Structure 1
Amino acid sequence: MTTQRQQTVEHRGFDAPDEIREFDHGRAEVLNMADGAIGRLVLHPGWQWSRDVKPLVGTEWCEAPHFQYHVSGKLRVRMADGDEFDVGPGSISSLPQGHDAWVVGDEDVVLVDWYGATDYAKRT
């Protein structure tokens, strides 16, 4: 006998997130669905993780791993090992724990994160 698992259709948008975590120069909007969390980060010019989020979470580096799609804006990432690179619109990045990042230029950075949203920017 084969047991078939019931699948549930979910249809949501970031216009009604389950949670909004605000911090200086930006916010994280979180949708809880499909047994996980999906986040949209909106980062304004002047945002830098080590200035705007680090004080909230109390770690030396961002400890949230990310798997994200970059919708708009340019982000510079510096890994704990010193590797530094830029990501922009249309890019997909997979970042392990241990990084800093900041907005480059005068355009908002918008990213959709499928992996790091669960605990991102939660106050300690």
Structure 2
Amino acid sequence: MSVLASKSFTEPEEVREFPHGHVDLVTVGDATVGRAEFEPGWRWSQDVKPIAGTDSCQAAHTGYILSGRMHVVMDDGAEGEAGPGEAIMVEPGHDAWIVGDEPCVMLDFTGLRDYAKK
């Protein structure tokens, strides 16, 4: 039996707010998909760490950057940056922040189910 499901981010099932941003979540089948918006000045270690209670982000992210730029530093020191039109994969154990004065908007297909959940 075929299944086709869709949900709109214009009416997310859940919105999680944190300083300098928010995540809109929808569940499609067994998948939780998030649309995250990080404002200039957002940094995981300042804005989400107090909610997560871990030293670094422990979510694995697989996503696509729609706008803005994000810099990521892994716990082992490896680092990189992603911007519009780029698909990304970030393993657990990282910090990240927004580069520049444009919000970073990204779709995340793996890492937002429990992200910034109080």
Give TM-score scaled by structure 1 length.
0.92
> 1:28 matched to which residue of 2?
23
Residue 85 of structure 1, CA deviation: 1.1
Match of 1:3 in 2: none
Q: Does 1:75 align with 2:70?
A: yes
Q: Percent identity?
A: 44
CA contact (8 A) 2:6 2:28 kept: no
Number of aligned residue pairs: 118
Check whether the contact 2:61–2:109 (CA below 8 A) recurs between aligned residues.
Answer: yes
Quick one: distance in 2 between partners of 1:86 and 1:35?
30
Letter in 2 for 1:60: D
Write the distance in 2 (CA, Å) between the matches of 1:19 and 1:32.
Answer: 10
Aligned to 1:51, which of 38, 46, 50? 46
Deviations 1:8-41 (A, max 9, x none): 3212211011100000000011101121100011
Unpaired runs of at least 5, structure 1? 1-5
Distance 1:31 1:12 in 2: 7
Distance in 1 separating the partners of 2:6 and 2:27: 11
How far residue 94 of structure 1 moved from its aligned partner, in angstroms, is 0.7
Aligned AA for 1:103? Answer: I
Question: Tell me, what secondary structure is at the counterpart of 2:113?
Answer: coil
Partners of 1:76 and 1:8 in 2: CA distance: 37
Distance 1:80 1:91 in 2: 22
Deviant stretches of 4+, over 2 Å? none
- Alpha-carbon distance between aligned partners in 2 of 1:72 and 1:100, rounded to the nearest angstrom: 19
- TM-score of the aligned structures, taking structure 2 as reference length: 0.97
What are the Cα deviations for residues 78-124 of structure 1, in whole angstroms up to 9, with x where unaligned?
0000111111001111111000000010000000000001111112x
Alpha-carbon distance between aligned partners in 1 of 2:6 and 2:73, rounded to the nearest angstrom? 35
Q: Which residue of 2 aligns with 1:90?
A: 85
Secondary structure of the corresponding residue to residue 69 of structure 1: strand
Partner in structure 2 of residue 101 of structure 1: 96
